[in-house]
Chain A
Amino acid sequence: MKRLMALIKREFWENKGAFRTTPLVIGGIYIVLALMFIITFNHFDNEFQSLKELARWVSQTDAGLRGDIIYGANIAALPALFGIVLSFVVFFYLLGSLYDDRKDRSILFWKSLPASDTLTMVSKLLSAMVVAPVIFWVIYVLTYIVIMLIFSVVVLYLGENPWTLFLGIGNPFKAWSMLLLSYLAISIWSLPMYAWLMLVSSFAPRIPLLFAILPPVVIAVLQIWIEFLQTFTLKKNLFGVIGEWFANSPFISYGSTNGNHKPVATLGIPLTETFGHEATVANILGRLFSTHMLIGLAVAAVFLGTALWLRRRATES
Chain B
Amino acid sequence: MSNVIEARGLTKRYKGTVAVDNIDLQIPSGRIVGLIGPNGAGKTSALKAILGLATYEGELSVLGKNPGKDRAALMEDVCFIADVAVLPRWIKVWQLIELTESIHPKFSREKCLEYLTSTKITPEHKVKQLSKGMVVQLHLAIVMAIDVKLLVLDEPTLGLDILFRKKFYTNLLNDYFDEERTIIITTHQVEEIEHILSDLIFIQEGRIALDCSMEEVQESYIELIVAPDKAAAAREFKPLYERELFGRFIFLYKNASREQLKTLGELHTPSVADLFVATMSGGVA
CA distance A109 to B154 in the complex (A): 13
Chain B residues with CB below 8 A from A117, complex form: 71-72
**Chain A residues in 8 Å Cβ range of B74:** 114
A317-B102 CB under 8 A given contacts A13-B91, A109-B88? no
**Stretch of A1-9, A56-64, A145-153, A240-248 with 4 or more beta carbons under 8 angstroms from chain B:** A1-9
The answer, among A3, A9, A109, for a CB contact under 8 Å with B87, is A109
A14 CB–B CB distance under 8 Å: yes
| CA A55 to CA B88, docked complex, whole Å | 55
A113 → B minimal CB distance (Å) = 5
B220 interface residue, CB < 8 Å from A?
no
In the complex, whether A156 has a CB less than 8 A from a CB of chain B is no
Which of B53, B76, B88, B89 is within 8 Å of A114, CB to CB?
Answer: B76
Q: In angstroms, how far is the closest chain A Cβ from the Cβ of B100?
A: 7
Minimum CB–CB distance for A99 against chain B, Å: 13
Asked if B14 CB lies within 8 Å of chain A CBs, one says yes
The answer to whether B132 has its CB under 8 Å from any CB of chain A is no
Is residue B90 within 8 Å, beta carbon to beta carbon, of the partner chain?
Answer: yes
Number of A-B contacts (CB under 8 A): 83
Known: A116-B72, A313-B55. A14 touches B88 (CB 8 A): yes
Is A112 part of the contact surface with B, judged by Cβ < 8 Å? yes
Given the contacts A104-B88, A106-B89, A315-B53, A112 and B75 also touching, CB distance less than 8 Å? yes
Whether A315 lies near B48 (C-beta < 8 A) is yes
> How many residues on the A side are at the interface (Cβ–Cβ under 8 A)?
29
The one of B14, B79, B90 in contact with A112, judged by C-beta atoms closer than 8 angstroms, is B79
Alpha-carbon separation in the docked complex, A287 to B73 (Å): 39
Cα(A315)–Cα(B48), bound, Å = 8
A35 within 8 A of B: no
- Is A6 in contact with B82, judged by CB distance below 8 angstroms? no
Query: Looking at the complex, which one of B14, B72, B80, B95 makes contact with A115 (CB distance below 8 Å)?
Result: B72
Total interface residues on B, CB under 8 Å, equals: 34
Most chain B beta-carbon neighbours within 10 Å: one of A10, A105, A108, A112: A112
| Interface contact B55-A114, CB-CB below 8 Å | no
Asked if B103 is at the interface (CB within 8 A of a chain A CB), the reply is: yes
Residues of the A chain whose Cβ atoms lie less than 8 Å from the Cβ of B103: 3, 6-7, 113-115
Is the beta-carbon distance between B75 and A114 smaller than 8 angstroms? yes
| A101 interfacial by beta-carbon distance below 8 Å | yes
Q: Is the CB of A317 within 8 A of B71?
A: no
CA distance A112 to B52 in the complex (A): 10
Q: Is A119 an interface residue (CB 8 A)?
A: yes
The 8 A CB mask of B78-109 against A (1 = contact, 0 = none) is 01111010111111100100111011110000
Check if A111 is an interface residue, CB within 8 A of chain B.
yes
* Interface mask (B165-177 → A, CB under 8 Å = 1, otherwise 0): 0000000000000
Which B112-164 residues have a C-beta within 8 angstroms of A?
139
Distance to closest chain B CB from A1 (angstroms) = 11
Q: Tell me which residues across on chain B come within 8 A of A116, comparing CB atoms.
A: 71-72
**Is B54 among interface residues, defined by CB-CB distance under 8 A?**
yes
Which of A3, A13, A109: most chain B CB closer than 10 A?
Answer: A109
CB of A316 within 8 Å of the partner chain: yes
**A6 and B53 form a contact (CB under 8 A):** no
> How far, in Å, is A131 (CB) from chain B's closest CB?
16
Residues of B within 8 A of A13 (CB): 90-92, 95
Report Cα–Cα, A10/B73, bound state, in Å: 20
Q: Which residue of A lies closest to B82 (CB)?
A: A108
Q: How far is the CB of A120 from chain B (nearest CB, A)?
A: 9
Contact of A317 with B75 in the complex, beta carbons under 8 Å = no
Binding site for B on A (CB under 8 A): 2-3, 5-7, 9-10, 13-14, 101, 104-117, 119, 313, 315-317
- Residues of chain B touching chain A, judged by Cβ–Cβ distance below 8 Å, are 14, 48, 51-55, 71-76, 79-82, 84, 86-92, 95, 98-100, 102-105, 139
Q: What are the nearest 5 A-B pairs in CB distance?
A: A116-B72, A6-B102, A114-B75, A106-B88, A315-B53
> 23 A-B contacts, Cβ less than 8 Å apart?
A5-B102, A6-B103, A7-B103, A10-B99, A13-B95, A104-B86, A104-B89, A105-B82, A106-B87, A108-B86, A109-B86, A112-B81, A113-B75, A113-B99, A114-B74, A114-B76, A114-B104, A116-B71, A119-B72, A313-B55, A315-B48, A316-B54, A317-B14
